Chain A
Amino acid sequence: MLKSVKTGLGLACVLAVMAGCSNTNSDKSSGEEYTQPEVDTQVETTVVDESEKMAPLENVVYFDFDESLLKPETRELLIRHADRMRGTPAAVRLEGHADELGTREYNLALGERRANAVRDFLVLQGVDAANLEVISYGEERPAQMGSNEAARAMNRRVVIN
């Protein structure tokens, strides 16, 4: 989302500059002379944006207890993942996990439900479902050991691999 907004801004600036250029012919004010470097700056910003595209995105999203609802920040992150996944044939594994609370087999199902929620959201963003594989580990592979809420919050997760 951020990337497309920035590209849009850049385009708007370029258009503004073009409009400005056409105006300079008639209006020779010094202000228009400086519009050119501003366009350069904008181009540079776009380059920064490109390099950010290469940086790895956070690949773990977290959930509330016994929940598979995607939090707003999760949705934002998944949109950025979807932007990168679209049009690439790379297979992606969505690993669903649960915390230690509750029963193991139910948690296996809960982990799958979470991974499915992530998959469905990515597919809505245009990612090819055929490239997404869901696997649940339930509570069998905790990211953090320990019987405390801090550890549990880290374990209720889906890992995008």
Chain B
Amino acid sequence: MIKSLLKTVAIIVIASVSLGARAQLVVDITSGIDDPTPIAVSPFSWSGGGVLKEDVSGIISADLRRSGLFSPVPKEDMLSFPKTPEDVVFRDWRILGTEYIVTGRIEPQASGYLLTFDLVNVFGQHKMFTKQVRGGQTQLRDIAHRAADEIFEAITGIRGAFSTEMVYVHEESRGGKPSYVLMRSDIDGARAKQLRRFSAPVMSPMWSPNGQELAYVSFETGRPAIFRENLRTGERKQLTNFKGINSSPTWSPDGTKLAMVLSKDGNPEIYVLDLASGKFTRMTRHFSIDTEPNWMPDGKSLVFTSDRGGKPQIYQLTLATGQVDRLTFDGDYNARPRVSPDGKTLVMVHRNRGTFTIATMDINSGRMRVLTETTLDESPSIAPNGAMLMYATKRGDKGILAAVSLDAGVKYNLPSQRGDVREPAWSPYFD
């Protein structure tokens, strides 16, 4: 950990795209693994007219760098810009220590672009693959992210998540009054756009498993209420309007149910709403605070926060039997659990020597590990490939987003250019 802190801080700025985007987030990488794989993404050729709106090979380099597992060779250091595997002079790249080279060609299509790209292994002196990605006029960034996913998976064996997105809450002052905006952006912070603006707080955004809907809590009615919003149509439905707290909606893995917290019985209890029938089932019965439910990947149990033991700790509720088991025992504040896609790791907010950090716990062994060194960390949200998580933290008095790998090796920040950002929710895969 200390060693990675001492490493040189590499800063890479992703140019903001001016598509009427607001509050663009900017990536700065604070630490990567000790021996990232050197890779060169040679600038792609473009056979159409004019200049492309996006630097596709540059976006791929930035994606790979952000993963922390790669150190892309800067364009200035390249001795040549091969466009095909046949152009590659292996000796030149071996001198630089480059292990992989990506070459590519972009061609215009009737209504968009076609990227053909190749991954070349320098030391083995062989081509690993040639692939194609097609996209529409506005999809150059999507094409780049998709290519990065393919390259990442071919080398690491882990599915890439560069094509995923996130939603988050952005708060800024407008004419002296706070304004709360639900934002949606690429996972690198680019192409941020406003989904909906509120004059009352909005919180707890969660993606449906198919990535087509969101559930969130809005205070627009004067009380917290749970809403469901279709991202394609913009259609919105208020799901709850009970007295007291209506909070923490989370979709079941099959998308048919929503677990949530209602305090209509006098104190916060976990409920499950069956979306087809509209039927609510109460899952917990305890006078303490029960909140922040999250589903295990098999959909058979929920993890949640409860202070039934005196302090907030994480518990597991088996839905079939109603049995509740305590999972966390280290420290006096463990809350807001999220489960990794393989169901083996718990991610949570953990108070460590007075500061709030993000920690993981191996569910089998109960072994806890603190991932972050920042303070006031909250709202961890895990990537669908389980490699990284996004969370909210503070820099000075400003709310920013940050990311850390689940092995704590890779870290980067995504501060907002203005206002406070918080509550990131990492999308699922869209296919």
Residues of chain A touching chain B, judged by Cβ–Cβ distance below 8 Å, are 66, 100-106, 108-110, 112-113, 116, 134-138, 140-141, 145-147
Verify B263–A112 contact, CB threshold 8 A: yes
- Chain B neighbourhood of A138, CB < 8 A: 203
- Chain B neighbourhood of A108, CB < 8 A: 203, 224, 245, 247, 291
- Chain B neighbourhood of A141, CB < 8 A: 178, 201
Knowing A105-B247, A112-B263, say if A100 contacts B292 (CB, 8 Å).
Answer: no
- Chain A neighbourhood of B360, CB < 8 A: none
Within 8 Å of chain A (Cβ to Cβ): is B379?
yes
- The answer, among A100, A134, A145, A147, for a CB contact under 8 Å with B244, is A134
Within 8 Å of chain A (Cβ to Cβ): is B261?
yes
In the complex, residue of chain A having the shortest beta-carbon distance to the beta carbon of B290: A109
Chain B, 412-426, CB within 8 A of any chain A CB: 423
13 of the cross-chain contacts (CB-CB < 8 Å) are A103-B292, A104-B378, A104-B379, A104-B423, A105-B261, A105-B291, A105-B336, A106-B335, A109-B291, A110-B289, A146-B397, A147-B376, A147-B396
In the complex, residue of chain B having the shortest beta-carbon distance to the beta carbon of A151: B397
Q: Closest 9 CB pairs between A and B?
A: A140-B201, A103-B336, A109-B289, A103-B335, A109-B268, A105-B248, A105-B292, A109-B291, A105-B291
- Chain B neighbourhood of A116, CB < 8 A: 267
Q: Once bound together, how far apart are the Cα atoms of A30 and B261, in whole Å?
A: 75
- The answer, among B222, B261, B378, for a CB contact under 8 Å with A109, is B261
- Chain B neighbourhood of A136, CB < 8 A: 224, 244-245
Chain B, 272-309, CB within 8 A of any chain A CB: 289, 291-292, 305
B335 smallest CB distance to A (angstroms): 4
Verify B204–A104 contact, CB threshold 8 A: yes
- Chain A neighbourhood of B22, CB < 8 A: none
Within 8 Å of chain A (Cβ to Cβ): is B93?
no
In the complex, residue of chain B having the shortest beta-carbon distance to the beta carbon of A135: B223
Give a binary string over B206-219; 1 marks a CB under 8 Å from any A CB, 0 the rest. 00000000000001
- Chain A neighbourhood of B396, CB < 8 A: 147
A11 smallest CB distance to B (angstroms): 42
In the complex, residue of chain A having the shortest beta-carbon distance to the beta carbon of B332: A66
Verify B219–A112 contact, CB threshold 8 A: no
In the complex, residue of chain B having the shortest beta-carbon distance to the beta carbon of A113: B289
Q: Once bound together, how far apart are the Cα atoms of A109 and B349, in whole Å?
A: 16
Q: Once bound together, how far apart are the Cα atoms of A138 and B204, in whole Å?
A: 12
Verify B356–A102 contact, CB threshold 8 A: yes
Q: Once bound together, how far apart are the Cα atoms of A100 and B379, in whole Å?
A: 12
- Chain A neighbourhood of B379, CB < 8 A: 103-104
A59 smallest CB distance to B (angstroms): 18
Within 8 Å of chain A (Cβ to Cβ): is B394?
yes
B41 smallest CB distance to A (angstroms): 39
- Chain A neighbourhood of B336, CB < 8 A: 103-106
- Chain B neighbourhood of A66, CB < 8 A: 311, 333
Within 8 Å of chain A (Cβ to Cβ): is B72?
no
- Chain B neighbourhood of A146, CB < 8 A: 397
- Chain A neighbourhood of B268, CB < 8 A: 109, 112
Within 8 Å of chain A (Cβ to Cβ): is B32?
no
Q: Once bound together, how far apart are the Cα atoms of A113 and B396, in whole Å?
A: 30
Within 8 Å of chain A (Cβ to Cβ): is B68?
no
Q: Once bound together, how far apart are the Cα atoms of A63 and B110, in whole Å?
A: 65
